[in-house]
Structure 1
Amino acid sequence: MSASDVRVEATGETVGEAKWAAVRELERLVPGFDRESVRFQVVSEGERGLLGVGYTPAHVVAEVSAADATPGTSPEAGSAREFVERVAAAIGASVSAAAVEREGTVTVTCSGADLGLLIGKHGQTLDAIQYLANAMVRAGGGEHIVVVDAAGYRARRTTVLDALAKRSAQQAAGTGRRVELEPMTAVERKIVHEALKDDPEIETASEGTEPNRYVVVLPRHFVD
């Protein structure tokens, strides 16, 4: 472990949950780090006792180099961070924000006790703040794309939506009938469309009106 490495330990009911907890803590300590660079050590895979008695949680250690996060020093990065903090304060969310810049994208990562309020239902509040942050950067003549995240919410939500998309595709292809998903934001609908765009057996479309617009998964061969 070098002097620039950051190391955390975390537990969970499963190894996967323990790793998620470790990643969330790393995001708080090293905003903007490359997830692919995280090194995990599984200390214990956990154990479920008989009838729930004697439960032992899974335990992991995660390390990442602080050098993997590039501090955002551009005017857009600083402006985006300050904007997000001001908006968060305006809605009553006590959070702190850190901005990092990589390849034309400024990622503003928020941490604090009120992340649920900042995220909103299915990320609606977070998406709205991200939209406004991008509009602010564009109005100032900037060209960076701004991504606003909160404790790894976007990665976790993307994983959930990707799994939902694949299950819905299997259902639509297997039954020959359309599958309607729950209303989603434009950002989340795009994730579903992207996840299924190369599936030869189904196609997707968005229907309805905002804020209740939703994705429909359609089999290419319908059952009468």
Structure 2
Amino acid sequence: MKLLLVEDDEMVGESLQKGLKAEGYSVDWAMKAEDASFALETNSYDIMLLDLGLPDYSGLVLLRVVRQKHNQIPTIILTAKDSIQDRVEGLDAGSDDYLVKPFSLDELLARLRALLRRKRGSAEPLLEYNGLILNPKTFEATLHHQTFKLSTKEFAILMALVETPGAPLSKAQLEEKLYGWDDSNQSNTIEVFIHSLRKKLGQGWIKNIRGLGYFIPKDTPKGLH
């Protein structure tokens, strides 16, 4: 999952980016509203984490402009402003959730998982497709009563493919899910992760079309290997 963090406090931003990356999220970090606006226009994100007190203009203004452009990116406001009026203004501006600083990383992670479930239209913490069950909290995949522990990158790739069954995702699209602006990666890392997932789940689960990308078939793959 790829997040856009909009936070002007360097200490807070570095801490959040480090903590979220350790949990498997790819995080782009913008310190100004203008930078965040440009990022939203040129990249695809699953969730935006938005501070309100930005140096160029308010996070609320940014959020209103984003919604006026019909960008419905799920958004969690992260702010020290904790009055009822502040919360009402944030939610009315188009925020999906509101978290008051200081907060624990565990609480933020729980809210992220909840927001992702709502985005998928499911109240359940697990994602299931054709007998394959994914647990975003533990980064585990269960198939035919066998559970596999996945790396954060493997899980992100598998989640992206499960969310778009039958539709090929290119190597560039998958890399966008995995890496932020400041991440370095080798050109063959996607192939390495795909190879590992096929070994765990079976060759039938992840197909590829040359020149288009990788996909999970709409029909249930047969067997584990």
What range is the shorter-chain TM-score in?
under 0.3
CA radius of gyration, larger in = 1
When normalised by structure 1's length, the TM-score is 0.27
| Higher relative contact order, structure no. (Cα contacts within 8 Å, ≥ 6 residues apart) | 2
Structure (1/2) with the larger strand percentage: 1
